[in-house]
Amino acid sequence: FGYQPSVLMSGSMSPVLEAGDVVLFEGIDPTEVGIGNVILFETPGRPDVLTAHRVTAVDSAAQLITTQGDANRGVDSNRVPFDSVKGFGRIAVPLIGLPTMWLATGQTALFGFFVLIMALATWMSRWALLDRFDPWLDGFETVSLDPVYTQMTFNASSA
């Protein structure tokens, strides 16, 4: 597959990417990273934390990358070593990661409400595939109201 999904947990990349968006990062050779690319990297000093920020400068000789969140006023204080780069942002899916973010940040009420709504929608959808609720199954008949206007109406006699 080659892509690593990551849920953005903060608004540091706003307004382009928001907290709760999922970004798919593709593995890349760090020497191919260019200014303006969004990369996923191990946070300097905290290798267990991944950060997604935009590249503002690349120092190929020192093998260091300078990054900055779009919503941040200045560049990040620590430059990123080439070997800390995990991927290059390819695809962003807005808001789909909100439930994961809610759970990870302790917003259990929002997560619980989301689960309740999804469970209700799933329970209600069980009728969607029943033939008796399918208006297209018996077809339509044409009723002519006048020579100029023709209306399609549902044939309710067999439902």
- Give domain 3-96's CATH number out of 2.40.50.140, 2.10.109.10, 3.40.50.1100, 3.10.20.90: 2.10.109.10
The DSSP call for residue 110 is H
The helix or strand, by DSSP H or E, that contains position 99, with its residue range, turns out to be helix 98-104
Q: What is the predicted pLDDT for the residue at 143?
A: 55
Place of tokens 């608004």: 11
Please list the pLDDT of the chain residue by residue as tens digits (159 residues). Answer: 589 999 999 999 999 999 999 999 999 899 999 999 999 999 988 888 999 999 999 999 999 999 999 999 999 999 999 999 999 999 999 999 999 999 999 999 999 999 999 999 999 888 777 777 776 666 665 555 555 555 555 555 554
Q: Residue 159 has what pLDDT?
A: 47
Residues of the chain with CATH 2.10.109.10: 3-96
Residue from 105, 104, 102 nearest 116 by CA? 102
What is the pLDDT, as a whole number, of residue 140? 60
